[in-house]
C-alpha cells in the first residue's frame, strides 16, 4: 500500500499539489487537495507537560506507541479530563487507549447524538472545549445534528471519529461513510488524518480552531490503521494555520470605540442588544451598563450574560420576547448590537427592526457584519476586548457623567408595568409558567437550566431568572429536539455538584430518553422536569393560530385512549432506577419540585399541563412589533393570508 507523502488532509478550501496517493472516489475533485504545512511556531501554544507514566503506559518519551495512545495523550496535553465516547469497530483502539489514560474519564452515553449534545452542554456550561468520540458509519453520522447545532450557536467542540482503514476508504466498506464530506458545511473545519505522525499537530490545531475567533465544532477523522500504527510522537510540531491566524480579528481601534461613545452621548433612547457572543464578557458588560445606564435586552443565546433581575434588564426580545424589550428596540434611537447576528426570530421583518435607530454592531466574525442588517458603525473584534476598551475610555473621561437617560428609563418602566409577562389560571390545571416560577423561587435562580425545543423552551426563557453567563443551555439556532437531557448531563459533568435542571417537553424528552441510564449510573444531580401536554406544543400553537386548529400529526399520546398519559415516563424512569413522580394539580406542584430538588442524584418530575396554553407574547414570523399578539384572540387568523405564509 502506498503511503501518503503529505500529512493530514485538512479540508479548508485551499489547494496545492496532490500527494502521490490514490484518493477516495467520494472526494470531489475540487476538494481533493491539501495545504503544504507552514511552520508557525510563534503562534503555537506551548504543549502542557507530559502525563505521568503508569503501569498501563510502560513506554518512555522516545519509545513508540500506537496512534490511538498518541491521540489520547494529545487530548491530555490539551487539558482534557472528560470525553463523551461510544465505542464501535473503527474506534475500539481509541477506547482501549482511553482505559490507559490516568487523566481522562469517559462518560458512556447510550447514543452518539446524546454524547455529542453532552459535549455541547459541557462546553456551553464551562466555556471549555467539549470532546466526543464515535465510530465510523452510523456512529459518525449520529453526530451530525449536534455538529450543526454547535456551528449555529458557536460552541467549541472537537468530534473525533474512527474511520475504516485507509486501504478500504472509497470501497463502500462495512460502516464506511465519508464523514468529512458529510460534515464539511456544518463544521468550522475538519481533518482526515492520513499519517500517524500528524496526530499531535492536528489535535493541537483542532482545539485552537474550535476555541479561537468565533468558536465552533471541528471534526477529526482517523482511520483504524492509523490508530494502530506505531510511532514516536513529536509534541512540539508547530501548527500550520497561517491563513486562519492572519484573519483573526485584531484588538478594536481606539478611534472606533470613541465613535461609539460619541453616538451614546448623542442618543436619548439607547438600547443594548446582547447575544451569545458576550458569554465570556459578562463582567465587562455589567460594568459598561453601570457606567452608562443603558437598558439591556438579550437574545435567547444571550440569556444570563446580563442578569435578568437587574432593573435595567428588559429580558429577552424577539418572537417570544417581552413586550417592553421589543418596544424598546422599536423606539430606540441607538442600538448597540454586541455579539449578535440579527437572527430572523429576533428581527422579524428585517426592514422594520430598529428602523429608528443608528446601529453599532460589534462581532468577532466579519461574515456577520452587515449580513442581515447594515450597521452605521461596525467593529470586527472580540466583544470582551471592545467592552474593556469602552470601559477604559469611560473611566478615563468625564463624558459619561453627561449621560442622562432618566426619561427613557421611566418610559420603559411604564411599559414593564403595563405589559408584564403573565398567564391565566383555570382551577387546578397547572400553568406551565407557574411550574417554572416555582422552580425559579426554590432554586433562587441559581440552577443551570437546559431545555429541549418548543413551548417549554420559551417559557423557561421567559420565567426563570438568569443571573450569570453559561447558566442557560438551549439549542437556539438549530432548534434540535432531544437536546435537553444530554446537554444537562454534560453540564453536570463540567460543574460537579451543581444542580442542573432539564426543563423539557414530552416530545423533546422522548428523543433522547435513553440518557436516563447515564445520569443514573454516574449519579449526576440532573433533575428532569417535563412539561407534559401530550402534544408537539409549539406546532400545535401554530396550528391553532395559522391553520384553523387543524391537527396534523401533533398529538403524541395514544389515540385509542386519550384519557391516559402516554407514554408513562414515570414507569420508564423507574426502569432506569431513576426516582420519578407525576403531578396533575397545581396545588401539588410546589411540594413536588421541592422534593425533586432535595432528592440526591437524578430525578424525574412529570408535570401534566394543558395543551391549549400558548406562548405569549408572540410576533408572528415575518411580522413587526406592531403585529405583536399579547392575548388569546382571533387576530392571528388574519395571518393565514399574510405574505409570510404564501
Q: Give me the catalytic one of 73, 117, 197, 224.
A: 224
- The CB-based long-range contact list for 307-310 (8 Å cut-off, 24+ gap) reads 307/465, 307/466, 307/467, 307/468, 308/465, 308/466, 308/467, 309/445, 309/465, 309/467
Separation in Å, CA 531 to CA 335, 383, 425, 433, 554? 36, 36, 16, 10, 16
How far is the C-alpha of 119 from the C-alpha of 130, rounded, in Å? 4
**Residue 509: which of 520, 501, 497, 521 has the closest Cα?**
501
Residue 224 a catalytic site member: yes
Q: Is 529 a catalytic residue?
A: no
CB hemisphere CA count around 381 (13 angstroms):
21
* Cell 461510544 belongs to residue: 86
Three-class HEC string of 287-309:
HHHHHHCCCEEECCCCCCCCCCC
Residues 6+ apart with CB under 8 A from 52: 102
**Which residues have CB under 8 Å from 36's CB, separation 6+?**
6, 16, 17
Cα 192 to Cα 38, 156, 615, distances in angstroms: 18, 19, 45
Please state, in angstroms and rounded to a whole number, the distance separating the CA atoms of residues 533 and 540: 11
* DSSP codes, 219-256: EEEEEHHHHH-EE---TTPPP--HHHHHHSPPPPPHHH
Which triple of cell numbers denotes residue 344? 430572523
Using DSSP's 3-state secondary structure scheme, residue 65 falls into strand
Q: Which of 73, 93, 112, 515 is catalytic?
A: 112
Phi then psi for residue 159, to 5 deg, are -105, 125
Q: How far apart are CA 487 and CA 504, in angstroms?
A: 11
Q: How many other β-carbons are positioned within 10 Å of the β-carbon of residue 92?
A: 16
CA triple 269-270-272, angle to 5 deg = 145
Q: CB-based contacts of 440: which residues, under 8 Å, 6+ apart?
A: 463, 464, 465
Does the annotation count 174 as an active-site position? Answer: yes
What are the residues facing 274 on neighbouring strands? 298, 338
Strand partners, 130: 157
Q: Which three cell numbers stand for residue 265?
A: 452621548
For every residue of 577-619, DSSP letters joined together read T--EEEE-SHHHHHHHHHHHHHSSS-EEEEEE--TT----SB-
How remote is the C-alpha of 367 from its chain's centroid? 19
Q: How far apart are CA 353 and CA 346, in angstroms?
A: 9
Taking CA 198 as the corner, what is the angle to CA 195 and CA 200, rounded to the nearest 5 degrees?
Answer: 145
Buried (b) or exposed (e) across 372-405, using 16+ Cβ within 10 A?
ebebebbbbbbbbbbbbbbbebbeeeeebeebeb
Instruction: Name the catalytic one among 511, 538, 596, 618.
Output: 538
DSSP letters spanning 7-48? --EEESS---PPPSSPPPTTS-GGG---PPP---GGGSPPPP
CB 378 within 8 A of CB 361: yes
CB atoms within 10 A of CB 558: 13
Can 112 be counted among the known catalytic residues?
yes
- Is 585 among the catalytic positions? no
> Which of 96, 175, 259, 514 is labelled catalytic?
175
Residue with cell 384519557: 563
**Catalytic annotation, residues:** 112, 174-175, 224, 538
Amino acid at each position: 500500500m502506498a503511503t501518503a507523502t503529505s500529512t493530514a488532509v485538512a479540508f479548508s478550501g485551499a489547494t496545492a499539489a496532490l500527494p502521490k496517493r490514490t484518493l477516495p472516489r467520494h472526494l470531489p475533485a475540487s476538494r481533493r487537495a491539501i495545504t503544504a504545512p507552514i511552520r508557525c511556531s510563534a503562534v503555537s501554544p506551548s504543549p502542557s507537560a507530559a502525563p505521568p507514566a503508569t503501569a498501563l503506559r510502560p513506554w518512555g518519551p522516545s519509545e513508540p506507541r500506537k496512534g490511538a495512545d498518541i491521540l489520547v495523550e494529545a487530548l491530555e496535553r490539551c487539558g482534557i479530563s472528560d470525553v463523551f465516547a461510544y465505542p464501535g469497530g473503527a474506534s475500539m483502539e481509541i477506547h482501549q487507549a482511553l482505559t490507559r489514560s490516568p487523566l481522562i474519564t469517559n462518560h458512556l452515553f447510550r447514543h452518539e447524538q446524546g454524547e455529542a449534545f453532552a459535549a455541547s452542554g459541557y462546553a456551553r456550561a464551562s466555556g471549555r472545549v467539549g470532546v466526543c468520540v464515535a465510530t465510523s458509519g452510523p456512529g459518525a453520522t449520529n453526530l451530525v445534528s449536534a455538529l450543526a447545532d454547535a456551528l449555529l450557536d458557536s460552541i467549541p467542540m472537537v468530534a473525533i471519529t474512527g474511520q475504516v482503514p485507509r486501504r478500504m476508504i472509497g470501497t463502500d466498506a462495512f460502516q464506511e461513510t465519508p464523514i468529512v464530506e458529510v460534515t464539511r458545511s456544518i463544521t468550522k473545519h475538519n481533518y482526515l488524518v492520513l499519517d500517524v505522525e500528524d496526530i499531535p499537530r492536528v489535535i493541537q490545531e483542532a482545539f485552537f480552531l474550535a476555541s479561537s475567533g468565533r468558536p465552533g465544532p471541528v471534526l477529526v477523522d482517523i482511520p483504524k490503521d492509523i490508530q494502530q500504527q506505531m510511532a514516536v510522537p513529536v509534541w512540539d510540531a508547530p501548527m500550520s494555520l497561517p491563513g486562519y491566524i492572519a484573519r483573526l480579528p485584531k484588538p478594536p481601534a481606539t478611534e472606533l470605540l470613541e465613535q461609539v461613545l460619541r453616538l451614546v452621548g448623542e442618543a436619548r433612547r439607547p438600547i443594548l442588544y446582547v447575544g451569545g457572543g458576550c458569554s465570556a464578557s459578562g463582567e465587562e458588560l455589567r460594568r459598561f451598563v453601570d457606567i452608562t445606564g443603558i437598558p439591556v435586552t438579550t437574545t435567547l443565546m444571550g440569556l444570563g450574560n446580563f442578569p435578568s433581575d437587574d432593573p435595567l434588564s428588559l429580558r429577552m426580545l424577539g418572537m417570544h420576547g417581552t413586550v417592553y424589550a421589543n418596544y424598546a428596540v422599536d423606539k430606540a434611537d441607538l442600538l448597540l448590537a454586541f455579539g449578535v447576528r440579527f437572527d430572523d426570530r429576533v428581527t422579524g421583518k428585517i426592514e422594520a427592526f430598529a428602523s429608528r435607530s443608528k446601529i453599532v454592531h460589534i462581532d468577532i466574525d466579519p461574515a456577520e457584519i452587515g449580513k442581515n442588517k447594515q450597521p452605521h458603525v461596525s467593529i470586527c473584534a472580540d466583544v470582551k476586548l471592545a467592552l474593556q476598551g469602552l470601559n477604559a475610555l469611560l473611566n478615563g473621561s468625564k463624558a459619561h457623567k453627561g449621560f442622562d437617560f432618566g426619561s427613557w428609563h421611566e418610559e420603559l418602566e411604564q411599559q414593564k408595568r403595563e405589559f408584564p409577562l403573565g398567564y391565566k389560571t383555570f382551577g387546578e390545571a397547572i400553568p406551565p409558567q407557574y411550574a417554572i416560577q416555582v422552580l425559579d423561587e426554590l432554586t433562587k435562580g441559581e440552577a443551570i437550566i437546559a431545555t429541549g425545543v418548543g413551548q417549554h423552551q420559551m417559557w423557561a426563557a421567559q420565567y426563570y431568572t438568569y443571573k450569570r453567563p453559561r447558566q442557560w443551555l438551549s439549542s437556539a439556532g438549530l432548534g434540535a429536539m432531544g437536546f435537553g437531557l444530554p446537554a444537562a448531563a454534560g453540564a453536570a459533568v463540567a460543574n460537579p455538584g451543581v444542580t442542573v435542571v432539564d426543563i423539557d417537553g414530552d416530545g423533546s424528552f422522548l428523543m433522547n430518553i435513553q440518557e436516563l441510564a447515564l445520569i443514573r449510573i454516574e449519579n449526576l444531580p440532573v433533575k428532569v422536569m417535563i412539561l407534559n401536554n401530550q402534544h408537539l406544543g409549539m406546532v400545535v400553537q401554530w396550528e391553532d393560530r395559522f391553520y384553523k386548529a387543524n391537527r396534523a400529526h401533533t398529538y403524541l399520546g395514544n389515540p385509542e385512549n386519550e384519557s391516559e398519559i402516554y407514554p408513562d415516563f414515570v414507569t420508564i424512569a423507574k426502569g432506569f432506577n431513576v426516582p420519578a413522580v407525576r403531578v396533575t394539580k397545581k396545588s401539588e406542584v410546589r411540594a413536588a419540585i421541592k422534593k425533586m430538588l432535595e432528592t440526591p442524584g437524578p430525578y424525574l418530575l412529570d408535570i401534566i399541563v394543558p395543551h391549549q396554553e400558548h406562548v405569549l407574547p408572540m410576533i408572528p414570523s415575518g411580522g413587526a412589533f406592531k403585529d405583536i399578539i399579547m392575548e388569546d384572540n382571533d387576530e392571528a387568523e388574519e395571518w393565514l393570508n399574510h405574505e409570510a405564509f404564501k
